[in-house]
Amino acid sequence: MKKVGIVIRSFQENDKCFVGCRKDVMDAFLNYPVQIVLIPIDLSWEQVLFLIQLCDGVVLTGGDHFTHNDFLIVQHLYQNDIPTLGICLGMQAMALSFGNGTEIDVSFHNKKDNGTHPIIIKEKTILREIVHHECILVNSRHKTAISNTDLVVSAISQDGVIEAVEDAQKRFFLGVEWHPESFSNKNSDLIFEAFIKSLY
């Protein structure tokens, strides 16, 4: 059975520190024949690398802040052509690993009801081939975005925020700014299905 690594992060709640991820990230894989390997981002790089090497693909989850290991993970996954799905902060780490982009404030970001908004997907991109639509509705929880990247920018919001990055030369190297794991619809399912297929 294939193994999917899910990066988990430290966070504080009620003045206590925890390590984990939103349950809906793991729930997104319940219907697939895969085993989940949790990868705590705050371990030493040697320990993180050991866990990554157990996996056939890795999901870079969202969070509030980057760690040095975020960028080491991206470099390792890219160099070894390990299928990679980046979500929110995970996508931003992917984008920042290539080029000279910076984090930018997106308090201006156009959000409609329930934090959703449309994005435009470019032709001849992996994301377009996955969802088969030029415009789809996505959700938003991010407070920052990335100014630019040397990866292919495959989707942008109507107000110019980078919403997806990718590299078609890899087995699967796609990052999305939104949270498909908590936006249950056909497009989200298609993204996870494409990631799972790339493991084989």
**Residue 135 confidence (pLDDT) above 80:** yes
pLDDT digits (tens, 9 = 90+) for 5-23: 999 998 888 888 888 888 9
Q: How many helices (H) and strands (E) does the chain have?
A: 6, 12
- Per the structure, how many domains does the chain have? 1
* pTM of the shown model: 0.94
pLDDT in the model for residue 57: 98
Distances (CA, A) of 60 to 39, 158, 162, 184: 10, 25, 17, 19
**Residue 185 confidence (pLDDT) above 70:** yes
| CATH number of the domain residue 80 falls in | 3.40.50.880
Q: Where in the sequence is the domain holding 130, given as residue range(s)?
A: 2-197
Tell me what percent of the residues of the chain surpass a pLDDT of 90.
78
What's the rounded mean pLDDT across residues 38-58?
Answer: 98
Other Cβ atoms less than 10 A from the Cβ of 43: the count is 14
pLDDT digits (tens, 9 = 90+) for 64-112: 899 999 999 999 999 999 999 999 999 999 999 999 999 887 776 555 5
Contact 73, 97 (CB under 8 A): no
Confidence band of 184 (pLDDT split at 50, 70, 90)? confident
What's the rounded mean pLDDT across residues 24-38?
Answer: 95
What's the rounded mean pLDDT across residues 164-187?
Answer: 95
Distances (CA, A) of 171 to 16, 98, 152: 39, 18, 15
